[in-house]
């Protein structure tokens, strides 16, 4: 009897999950990056309370809006806007935050939809599976390092530098090259989105040449001419930036 009740309950949960997928607009189906610790059962556990959003000290988490249908109000991370800072001390504003025992989003979640992960460098260095939000993919054809021997911002900013993001792909002979040649080792990338965030190969930089209302930062100006050349040659349909987080297959 108990087994029957449990299986009925899990059947209803599965049904809820499938229902959510059916009502999910196409552009959300393979693109939603969840906070670290969100497991396969995330959708059936998340009650849309927003406590993870409130708890994130870096404002990395947002809620999907009503255009997401059944997924409205569930938390997600848009690395183009703000990546996950893994609750480390220094934030994007240059100010320090107190280090919490667990990653704050999982600590605040009342249902276990986002699991608790200890917040320390040893845990991060082991790259636990439950921490993986997605994985980065690099398009060498529009990468400033591969094309112009410039940049390397993704490599320098990756929290798992020399592990998830390496300088030079193993086994490729790159003689007489001095600059960085980024390579993502997908076994270790957690999909935090920092590389995605800092990569300057972005559409608004290319557009700023024609649209004078777009103001570039000093950082963006440094790369603007090269970015325009690369994006112009690649065409409108190219996916940007040159390194971006996608869901794991």
131 binds ligand SF4 (CB under 6 A): no
Residue 96: other Cβ atoms inside 10 A: 10
Stretch that binds ligand SF4, among 39-47, 159-167, 168-176, 206-214 (CB under 6 A): 159-167
Burial class from Cβ neighbours inside 10 Å (0-12, 13-18, 19+) for residue 150 reads: middle
User: Residue from 38, 46, 68, 87 that binds ligand SF4 (CB under 6 A)?
Assistant: 87
DSSP assignment, residue 7? H
Stretch that binds ligand SF4, among 4-12, 22-30, 38-46, 50-58 (CB under 6 A): 50-58
Nearer to ligand SF4, 64 or 184 (CB): 184
Stretch that binds ligand SF4, among 5-13, 14-22, 63-71, 97-105 (CB under 6 A): 97-105
Task: Give the whole-angstrom CA distance, residue 34 versus residue 108.
Answer: 15
Task: Give the whole-angstrom CA distance, residue 66 versus residue 108.
Answer: 24
Q: Are 220 and 107 in contact (CB under 8 A)?
A: no
Least Å from the CB of residue 161 to ligand SF4 = 7
**What distances in angstroms separate CA 191 from CA 22, 32, 113, 210, 249, one per listed residue?**
26, 12, 18, 33, 13
Least Å from the CB of residue 172 to ligand SF4 = 16
Least Å from the CB of residue 67 to ligand SF4 = 22
Residues 163-202: x where in contact with ligand SF4 by CB under 6 A, - otherwise, as a string:
-xx----------------x-x----xxxxxxx--xx-x-
Q: Are 216 and 200 in contact (CB under 8 A)?
A: no
Phi and psi, residue 41, nearest 5°: -90, 15
240 binds ligand SF4 (CB under 6 A): no
Positions touching ligand SF4 (CB under 6 A) are 35-36, 55-56, 58, 60-61, 84-87, 103-105, 136, 138, 143-145, 151-154, 158-160, 164-165, 182, 184, 189-195, 198-199, 201, 241-243, 245
């Amino acid at each position: 009897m108990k087994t029957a009740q449990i299986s009925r309950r899990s059947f209803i949960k599965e049904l809820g999950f499938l229902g959510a997928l059916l009502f999910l607009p196409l552009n959300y189906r393979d693109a939603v990056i969840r906070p670290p610790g969100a497991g396969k059962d995330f959708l059936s556990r998340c009650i849309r309370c927003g406590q993870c959003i409130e708890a994130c000290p870096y404002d990395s988490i947002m809620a999907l809006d009503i255009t997401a249908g059944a997924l409205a109000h569930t938390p997600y991370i848009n690395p183009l806007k703000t990546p996950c800072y893994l609750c480390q001390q220094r934030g994007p504003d240059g100010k320090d935050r107190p280090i919490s025992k667990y990653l704050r989003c999982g600590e605040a979640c009342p249902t276990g939809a986002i699991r608790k992960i200890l917040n320390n460098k040893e845990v991060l260095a082991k790259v636990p599976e439950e921490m993986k939000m997605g994985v980065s993919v690099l398009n060498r054809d529009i990468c400033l390092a591969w094309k112009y021997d410039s940049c390397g911002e993704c490599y320098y900013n990756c929290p798992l530098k020399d592990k998830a993001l390496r300088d030079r792909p193993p086994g490729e002979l790159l003689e007489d090259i001095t600059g960085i040649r980024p390579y993502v080792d997908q076994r270790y990338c957690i999909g935090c989105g920092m590389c995605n965030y800092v990569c300057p190969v972005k559409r608004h930089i290319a557009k700023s040449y024609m649209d004078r209302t777009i103001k570039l930062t000093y950082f963006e100006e440094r790369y603007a001419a090269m970015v325009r050349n690369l994006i112009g040659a690649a065409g409108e349909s190219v996916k940007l930036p040159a390194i971006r987080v996608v869901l794991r297959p």
